A = this chain, B = another copy of it.
């Protein structure tokens, strides 16, 4: 189990190698890499392209929140290895934002836990996206789909 919050980029291959090295009980490794996506938004008469964003976070609380989420995944599924690396600061379209990796003897558990971690970190970890548009900076509103995705797992907990 490991959680990291950092400003710099991460090396996906190296992270995964380190995570699984020496563990011969992992049959499936499910991984998610979140990237900054180029987006087009309509704002009145303007159609803006978003090329970059800045992720603000709450140092201290962020690590605690991610550790809580990771611990919860390990309670729910039989996992051999979990890793969350989340960046903050300024990133451009195409840049990596987050890496979530889950190793388990069985692929179903790996996939489910990985999706769970991604859904939960979007709604439970203190990050805020500030988008750069040609018209200026704009705080991203919470995405209803994210709340719905996270809520799936609340039901399963009962």
Q: How large is the interface on A (under 10, 10 to 19, 20 to 34, 35 or more residues)?
A: 35 or more
Please tell me how many copies of the chain the complex holds: 2
Let me know if A27 and B35 touch, CB within 8 A. Answer: yes
Determine how close the nearest CB of chain B comes to the CB of A142; give it in whole angstroms: 16
Query: Which B residues are in CB contact (< 8 Å) with A37?
Result: 24-27, 105
Using Cβ atoms and an 8 Å threshold, which residues of chain B touch A11?
13
A65 nearest CB across to chain B (Å): 19
Cβ of B16 and Cβ of A107 under 8 Å apart? no
When the two chains form their complex, are residues A24 and B107 in contact, meaning their CB atoms are under 8 A apart?
A: no
Residues of A in contact with B (beta carbons under 8 Å apart): 11-14, 16-17, 20, 22-38, 93-94, 105, 107-108, 110-111, 114-115, 118, 145, 149
